[in-house]
A = this chain, B = another copy of it.
Amino acid sequence: VDARPIPAIRWEGGPEGRLLLLDQTKLPSKLEVLEIRDVESLARAIRELAVRGAPAIGVAAAYGGVLALRESPPSPRERLEEALDLLAASRPTAVNLFHALSRLRRRAAALPGEDPATLAAALLDEARTLHREDEDLCASLGRHGATLLEDGMTVLTHCNTGRLATAGVGTALACILTAHREGKRLLVYADETRPLLQGARLTLFELAEAGIEARLLVDGAGPGLLLAGEIQAVFVGADRIAANGDTANKVGTLPLALAASRAGVPFYVVAPSTTLDPSLPDGRSIPIEERDGDEVTSLLGDRVPPGTRARNPAFDVTPADLITALVTEHGICRSPDRDGIKALLDSGR
Contact = CB atoms under 8 A, between A and B. Distances in A.
Contacts of A28: 302-305
B304 A200 contact: yes
Interface in A273-317: 288, 293, 296-297, 299-300, 302-305, 307-313, 315-317
Contacts of A258: 223, 255, 258-259, 262
A127 to B, nearest CB: 31
Given A219-B219, A299-B299, A204 B308 contact: yes
A197 interface: yes
Interface string A26-42: 00110000000000000
Interface string A298-339: 011011110111111101110100000000000000000000
Given A195-B218, A216-B310, A303 B29 contact: yes
B254 A218 contact: no
Contacts of A228: 288, 317
A7 B41 CA distance: 52
Interface in A201-234: 201, 204-205, 208, 214-225, 227-228
Interface in A95-136: none
Interface stretch (A142-150, A166-174, A186-194): A186-194
B219 A252 contact: yes
A251 interface: yes
Interface string A228-262: 10000000000000000000001111110011001
A7 B220 CA distance: 29
A313 to B, nearest CB: 6
Contacts of A221: 251-252, 311-313, 316
A216 B317 contact: no
Interface string A148-186: 000000000000000000000000000000000000000
A192 B321 CA distance: 29
A52 B222 CA distance: 23
A300 B259 CA distance: 26
In the complex, which of the residues A255, A311, A319 has the most CB atoms of chain B within 10 Å of its own CB atom? A255
A53 B300 CA distance: 21
A219 B216 contact: no
A310 B215 contact: yes
Contact of A311 (B216, B220, B254, B308): B216
A200 B315 CA distance: 21
Nearest to A248: B224
B215 A309 contact: yes
15 contacts: A192-B296, A193-B220, A194-B218, A194-B219, A200-B308, A216-B304, A217-B296, A218-B252, A220-B253, A223-B258, A224-B288, A227-B254, A255-B255, A255-B259, A258-B259
10 closest Cβ pairs, A-B complex: A220-B252, A224-B316, A255-B255, A29-B302, A194-B218, A258-B258, A216-B310, A219-B220, A223-B255, A215-B311
